[in-house]
Structures are given as C-alpha cells and as structure tokens.
Structure 1
Amino acid sequence: MAGVGVRFVQKVSATRAFAKVAPHAIPALDRAVHRLTRGRVLLSAQLLPGVILTSTGARSGLPRRTPLACMPEEEGRTWLLVGSNFGRTDHPAWTRNLLTQPDASINWKGRDIPVTARLLEGGERSAAWKTLLRFWPPYATYQGRVEREIRVFRLTRR
C-alpha cells in the first residue's frame, strides 16, 4: 500500500469509532475469508502481517481461533503479538489464554506452525515496544487510551 494510504489507515485505526467497530467486524471478516480461501488469504494481512492464533481457552479448555496482526521478527521463527484490543479497557481474551497455556499454534501464510508464547516484560518489552511503534504507530494511541500496560508476546516456533 502506498505511503499516503498507510497513513490514512493508521489515522482511521486510531479513532475511537474504529475501536468500537473493529473488534467485532475485523476478526469475523478475517475468519470467514481465511476459511473460504483455505488459509491462503487473511484480509487484514493486506495491510499488516497477520496470523490466525489457535490458543487454548483459559476457562473452557477449548481451542480458540483469533485473527491477529503480528510483527514477524525472524522470518518464520518468531513473531510479536500486541494485546492492544484497539485501545479498549480490557486485555483481549487471547492474552489470558496465552498466559494460562503458552503452547499454541499459528497459521502463518497458510501454514500451521506450533509456537510457544512468552509475555515480554521490563527492558525486553520496552525494546520490542519501540520497534512495534515504528512498525504500527497507532499502538501509541491505543496505549494512551488505557491505564493497563498493553501486553506484548513473543511467539517462538517449537
């Protein structure tokens, strides 16, 4: 996407109206398109790299599939996931799932990959956060809206 288009999308994604609609609309569209294309297309990945995270529900113990933006660090080895929840008050459920059961899997570019998630803290989180803000500046707006510290996870291929 051209620079002007990316900046426009970043601006729109930082609005409160987007934060109200996006958590419901984007994952549903992503799941539907991903399923219809047999894992070849993730709609939101047309703008940002994305994965489908399959984690174990913290309460239910059932598999939970969640489409998420990600920042690949080492192509095919590690990924960063941000629990921004579009700047909403609560942590997204998938972050609680990973804290409870860090072994999960992702669908990355149509391939299922087993991963282990680790919550980043302290200096490691700070360094990753700086990189994430360069990658997707609206994360700063999301953090500014909430009192909680947005969770950042590093997924590593098992």
Structure 2
Amino acid sequence: MKLAAGIVWADQRLHRASSGRLSLVAIAGLPSLRLTSTGRRSGLPRSNNLLYYPYGDQYVLTGSNWGKSSHPAWTFNLRAHPEASIALRGKQIAVRAREVKGPEYDELWRRLLEFWPGYAMERDAAGRELPIFILSREKSPGGLDQPFGR
C-alpha cells in the first residue's frame, strides 16, 4: 500500500501506451479495467485503472482505495452519475453502476475475499466498509462495443 502512488502512475502510462490493452494488474494475472466516470462536481470525465471481479457478464468494483480511510473519488462519481464506461482489452464499453447493499453485499464480499484476500487487509487498514459496485453493460447504438480511443 505504501507503493500505491507509484503503481498508479506507472499503470496509467502503461494503459495509455498500450491503447487500453495492458495494465500492471493484468500483467500480474488479475483482471483490470479502466473506469471513466463523470465527476460529481466538475462534470468532467475522470478515469481510474481498477481491479475488477468478473461476475457473469457484469463487473464488480470494490472501493478499497489502497486501504486509505477515505472512499475513492470514483465511488462518489458513480453514486452521482451511474452511467459510465470501461476500457477493457482495447474496447470501450458503456456501463451502468449499481451500489450493492444488504444481503447481496454480504454474499459479494464473501466472493471478493475468495477472489482477492487482500481486500480484508485493506478494509482493516481503512477502518471502514468498502463500497461494492456492480457494472452492467448498456447497449450502445448498433449494439457493438467500440474500439478504445475512437
């Protein structure tokens, strides 16, 4: 967690240089995507490279923020503007976010810990419940995903 800033910096550049096909998380063998949400106050696009949990044809994001006590900015953005997009394996995909609560949260939290046990350490370090969001695909015009950068 102490290396978070350097990892994020390097990951952003790798993602940009590979047109969305590579990330440090992906090189480590874990699924990653680049979330672009709308800033809740600015209204501007905000992008973050994130680890995700594949959940059927949906994508699950966890607001761990590397174990920091504050929620990551993207969680506030998705709450204010659930329509977003993800870059995944070189394609841009329109999605809609939904925050998970109650029994569904408990079930997904269990699955997330099996997938990435580090979430428990990050939750303990943060001293807060980590928000969980499910991203579902939105149909784009023509029903096709768009290549990244177009």
TM-score by length of 2: 0.87
Shift of residue 45 of structure 1? 1.4
Q: CA deviation at 1:27?
A: 2.0
1:84·1:92 contact (CA, 8 Å) conserved in 2?
yes
Unaligned runs of 5+ in 2: 139-150
By how many angstroms is 1:73 displaced? 1.1
> TM-score, structure 1 length as denominator?
0.83
- Note the alpha carbon deviations across 1:9-61, whole angstroms, 9 max, x for none: xxxxxxxxxx2331x12222111111111222112212210000000011111
Match of 2:78 in 1: 98
The letter of the residue matching 2:43 is G
Question: Unaligned regions of 5+ residues in structure 1, if any?
Answer: 1-18
Q: Tell me how far apart the structure 2 counterparts of residues 45 and 126 of structure 1 sit (CA, whole Å).
A: 27
Superposition CA RMSD, Å: 1.0
Cα distance, 1:127 vs. partner? 0.3
Mapped pair 1:138 → 2:122 = no
What letter matches 1:27 in structure 2?
V
- 2:19 pairs with 35, 38, 42, which one? 38
Provide the identity percentage. Answer: 45
| Among candidates 63, 76, 82, match of residue 45 of structure 2 | 63
Amino acid at match of 2:67: G
Q: Distance in 2 between matches of 1:26 and 1:115?
A: 26
For 2:11 and 2:52, locate their aligned partners in 1 and report how far apart those are by CA, in whole Å. Answer: 14
List structure 1 runs of 4+ shifted beyond 4 angstroms: none
- TM superposition shift of 1:79: 0.5
Q: Which amino acid aligns with 1:113?
A: I
1:104 CA displacement: 0.1
Q: Is the 8 A contact 1:26 1:44 kept in 2?
A: no
Alignment of 1:5-84 (within 5 A): 19-22=1-4, 24-47=5-28, 48-74=30-56, 77-84=57-64
Provide the secondary structure at the position in 2 that maps to 1:114: strand
Once residues 116 and 84 of structure 2 are traced to their aligned partners in structure 1, the CA distance between those partners, rounded to angstroms, is 24
Distance (Å, rounded) in 1 between the aligned partners of 2:16 and 2:125: 33
Match for residue 15 of structure 1?
none
Count of aligned residue pairs for this structure pair: 137
Q: Is the 8 A contact 2:97 2:134 kept in 1?
A: yes
